[in-house]
Amino acid sequence: MTTVPTLRAEAAQTLSRGAVIPAHPLALTADRRLDERRQRALSRYYLAAGAGGLAVGVHTTQFEIRDPEHGLYEPVLALAAEELQAADPGVVRIAGVAGDTAQAVAEAQVARDLGYDAVLVSPRVAGADNAALLDRARAVGEVLPLVGFYLQTAIGGPVLDRDFWCEFASIPSVVAVKAAPFDRYRTLELVRGVAASGRADDIALYTGNDDSIATDLLSEFHVESPDGPRTLRFVGGLLGQWAVGTRAAVHILDTAHRAAAGDLEAYHRLGRIGADLVDLNQAVFDPGNDFHGVIAGVHEMLRQQGLLEGIWCLDPNESLSPGQAEEIARVRAAYPELNDDAFIAENVQEWLR
């Protein structure tokens, strides 16, 4: 009988309560080599900002870290793991895994050996149908607890229906699901699928919809489950958007939790800043150019704030779109309460030591 891997008690409490989990970027030098000093500084920023977890080796970290010519998957995970050693035990350590079953299982084993709590399973696998994705998830789930991931189609994610999410959520090692289809209908299908599995009480719902953060955190989903009608909510976010403005994000999530508990002022405050978050996201993620500058946009925000030296990506073709740097400068000036500028300026030199 296969043993189901479980989370550390502290990590399980954080994940179920709801946390800000930034998708960790990759710091590179001008010759596109790992900038260890600034990579550590990013981890220190997120932890100092109050993040409840880190997600490393995910899309924002660049899938190319796995390519043989770079060989950065394990080194990048190891750097974050070292910084996490001194963190609060409640901080959740999540590693991204990708590729076919053999690759994803091997990456999960690397993550387990480095002390990670769970793995976020990328659904972007060439030629894989839903059945193959589920078989892969079951195999990976024998190594570490699983976080599901609905990736938007604009950057290669497949369409995953309600039946898929019901089957996925039925895997005993699934502890959370990140909804990032950037589509309200598909987000609802994911939530309904999790509810239909009968495991909704065991699975934390996290928004990855960077274009509708406030909407997801404020929404109640009235769905059917095997035990009757249920109301489900997103409890936190695992977001590329929260790789910037992380301290502000901690306040936003606290506001959302207070709103869910009945605090009307908190509810109205989150509603008031919802459109501001979308404006910030369009500058950073570059949806007007089919997300061409999404990773470079995160880098540019961090570069303007002094955490990164440049916006270099492993793929030389990934860069900012025309006018994107100016847009990022505009939203920094327009929404200082969402961007952590003062907090970073006060601490950046310490994080870079």
What does the DSSP assignment read for 180-236? E-S-HHHHHHHHHHHHHTT-GGG-EEEE--TTSHHHHHH--EEEEETTEEEEE---E
* Cβ pair 91, 52 in contact under 8 A: yes
What whole-number distance in Å separates Cα of residue 60 and Cα of residue 46? 14
Burial 92-126 (b: 16+ CB within 10 A, else e): bbbbbbbbebeebbebbebbbebebbbbbbbbbbe
First to last CA, the chain: 48
Which percentage of the chain shows pLDDT scores above 90?
Answer: 96
Which percentage of the chain shows pLDDT scores above 70?
Answer: 99
Q: Residue 1 above 60 pLDDT?
A: no
Q: Which of 107-116, 123-132, 194-203 shows the lowest per-residue confidence on average (mean pLDDT)?
A: 123-132
Q: Residue 206 above 90 pLDDT?
A: yes
- The mean pLDDT of 313-336, rounded to a whole number, is 97
Q: How far is CA 304 from CA 134, 244, 312, in A?
A: 41, 11, 14
The tens digit of pLDDT for each residue in 9-59 reads 999 999 999 999 999 999 999 999 999 999 999 999 999 999 999 999 999
- The mean pLDDT of 171-175, rounded to a whole number, is 98
Supply the angle between the helices 162-169 and 130-140 in degrees, to the nearest 10: 20
Residue spans of the domains in the chain: they are 9-247
- The mean pLDDT of 73-82, rounded to a whole number, is 98
* 9-247 CATH, one of 2.30.110.10, 3.20.20.70, 3.40.50.2300, 3.20.20.370: 3.20.20.70
SS3 for 29? coil
